[in-house]
Chain A
Amino acid sequence: MDYQDLKHTLSYLHAEVNRMETMAGTLSAIERDHYNKLTNFEQRELVDIAVEEQSAARQLGTMKQMCLAMAQKIEELKNAVDRGQLGENTEHAETH
């Protein structure tokens, strides 16, 4: 893969990870809303579903944070490619 391809791939990954972050955030909000609605009913089964929805909301929130961290890493990689530092870093890593 040449540098141009690598840059395009990183740009694609960055855009998709950002999209996943937005999707996770939206789904998390929906799940949280479901939790609030389901806890209005005093039925054991519905409350248990609500608890699972709340867990899902938190895990989607976590996915959002993971996407943010990954997007930042990809951005760093893109910058390194732009500066032509990637080859040097790889060589450095191999010495350890």
Chain B
Amino acid sequence: MLRLIENWIRSSINETMDKALTRIVKDQYIENLSEMIPTSNKVGPINLMEIAMRASQGLPVARPLGSPLHFSPWDKILFNPVHLYRFPTPENVGINTSVTIGHRARKPLTLSIPVMVAAMSFGGALSKRAKIALAKAESIVGTATNSGEAGLLEEEREAAQLFIGQYNRGGWMNTPEKYKRLDAIEIQLGQGAQGSTPQRTAVKNIGEDFRDVFDLKEGEAAQIHSRLPGVNTQDDFIQLVRRLRDETGVPIGLKIAATHHLEKELQIAVEAEVDFVTLDGAEGGTHGGAPTLQDDVGLPTLFAITRAAEFFARKGVMRDINLLATGGLVTPGQMLKAIALGADGVYIGTAAVMALVSDQMVEALPFEPPTSLVVYTGKMTDQLDVDRAAFNLVRYLNACVHEMELVAVTLGKTALTDLSKSDLCTLDPFISKATGIQLGYVSPENQQQFFEETRPLFDNMAEEYKETQNEGMPLH
């Protein structure tokens, strides 16, 4: 009987495939389903989907988790192991993974690992259960979680041993009774996936718990402004940092979207004597931002870190101002490369959420996306097992940091914070020139010779650049 059914299925599939292939070969493109292949290849499957969404909704498409484009060429950078020149670290020596943020603050923030959960707000992004799970996991591993642009969620504060809160453009954390309960304050002026654009959560997506945390009236939308209320001049910002520092004593930081105007922005941060700067690269995630802001705005994380670290070194404030990097960091290798390039710590968002739901996504799939378990407006948020989700993230973070420790051992280091550019090489001469990482193709002794010999190549490019500048033409 089974054999009969099997034969029948085989012959049906065969007949269907024959008919489909015959139509594909014989029909003109205009009436051929395979027309989708060149169209999709030309436009791209994501763009094709988003064209249809824009056509259907007439509004910016709310794409979750940030840009699918990879702007930071992490894969062109490699770590340099040691054998005899410097010896690897003995395996019985523990690698120091801790990092202190805000050495100058009255109450510095010391983390056990240099990885934190990024700013994802309750309500605007995640559900209460997801926020509590993230906070629980971070407490178990001894690091901090971030409020995102939200008010103070009591349950999250209680679950988080170390809690970084965002003084935000919506104004929901900006009263002394709230910000005085934080372990560090991050003044949020922008983010990688959305720049400094305003955002709004519509009334239909605001529940009672959201209204309570955000102090909203019934029927009132949650509005994030493009500017921080009360900060309209550079001096206003400097005064705000001083006031928060005097009132709280905790590290005060600035979070911005990474931008080509980076050094000009950082100059104000240095003048304000902030304790840390969080740079969110163009790959930064979001709960649901417009694709154009995600794909076409900002500076990639890798270059933002190297430029900021170089700027701080030039200004002599490397020990005074910690650099936190975020935006598209997914693998432990990427996180550690960010640290080697000058970041003191990193934030992870998308990776943390995916780790959280890893073994529970089967509850949602195949009819709902995994995010429906964790986003505030998700259909299945009640089904998230908080403790199971938290321990998934604990396991993930342990694995990531352990992999980082293994790299530190092969580099002959005893602390993750000891890694530097000299532990890296790159396979791309342009990255080498831009970041100061040595070029892996040639020995350290021959770096200068290589670049001198290939100088005509760069000179030609410089000439071309000059010509385009003189003609007032944009640089291609």
Decide yes or no: A55 and B391 within 8 Å by CB, A61-B112, A65-B110 being known contacts.
no
B391 is contacted by which of A28, A48, A66 (Cβ under 8 Å)? A48
Contact with A along B409-437 (1 / 0, CB 8 A): 00000000000000000000000000000
Decide yes or no: A55 and B398 within 8 Å by CB, A61-B112, A62-B112 being known contacts.
yes
Contact with B along A34-61 (1 / 0, CB 8 A): 0000000000000010011011011101
Is the beta-carbon distance between B112 and A55 smaller than 8 angstroms?
yes
Interface size grouping (class) on chain A: 10 to 19
A87 to chain B, nearest CB (A): 20
A29 at the B interface (CB under 8 A)? yes
Contact with B along A16-29 (1 / 0, CB 8 A): 00000000000011
Count of CB-CB pairs between chains A and B under 8 Å: 50
A32 at the B interface (CB under 8 A)? yes
Is the beta-carbon distance between B112 and A59 smaller than 8 angstroms?
yes
A69 at the B interface (CB under 8 A)? yes
Is the beta-carbon distance between A54 and B97 smaller than 8 angstroms?
no
- Residues of A contacting B98 with CB < 8 Å? 58, 61-62, 65
A55 is contacted by which of B94, B140, B246 (Cβ under 8 Å)? B140
Q: Name A25's closest neighbour in chain B (CB-CB).
A: B94
Interface size grouping (class) on chain B: 20 to 34
Is the beta-carbon distance between A48 and B395 smaller than 8 angstroms?
yes
Is the beta-carbon distance between A54 and B94 smaller than 8 angstroms?
no
Question: In the complex, A2→B356 CA distance in Å?
Answer: 55
Q: Mostly helix, strand, loop or mixed at chain A's interface? A: helix
Q: Name A66's closest neighbour in chain B (CB-CB).
A: B110
B459 to chain A, nearest CB (A): 49
B256 at the A interface (CB under 8 A)? no
Question: In the complex, A30→B264 CA distance in Å?
Answer: 48
- Residues of A contacting B140 with CB < 8 Å? 52, 55
- Residues of A contacting B111 with CB < 8 Å? 62
- Residues of B contacting A96 with CB < 8 Å? 246
Is the beta-carbon distance between B113 and A58 smaller than 8 angstroms?
yes
- Residues of A contacting B141 with CB < 8 Å? 55, 58-59
| Additional A-B contacts beyond A48-B395, A62-B142 (7; CB < 8 A) | A28-B94, A29-B92, A29-B94, A32-B94, A55-B398, A61-B98, A69-B108
Interface residues of A (CB under 8 A from B): 28-29, 32, 48, 51-52, 54-55, 57-59, 61-62, 65-66, 69, 96
Across the A-B interface, the 10 shortest Cβ-Cβ residue pairs: A62-B98, A59-B142, A62-B112, A59-B112, A58-B112, A51-B398, A55-B141, A65-B98, A58-B97, A54-B398
Interface residues of B (CB under 8 A from A): 92, 94, 96-98, 100, 108, 110-113, 140-142, 246, 391, 394-395, 398, 401-402
Give 17 CB contacts A-B under 8 Å: A32-B94, A48-B391, A48-B395, A52-B140, A55-B112, A55-B141, A57-B94, A58-B142, A59-B112, A59-B142, A61-B98, A61-B112, A62-B97, A62-B98, A65-B100, A65-B110, A69-B100
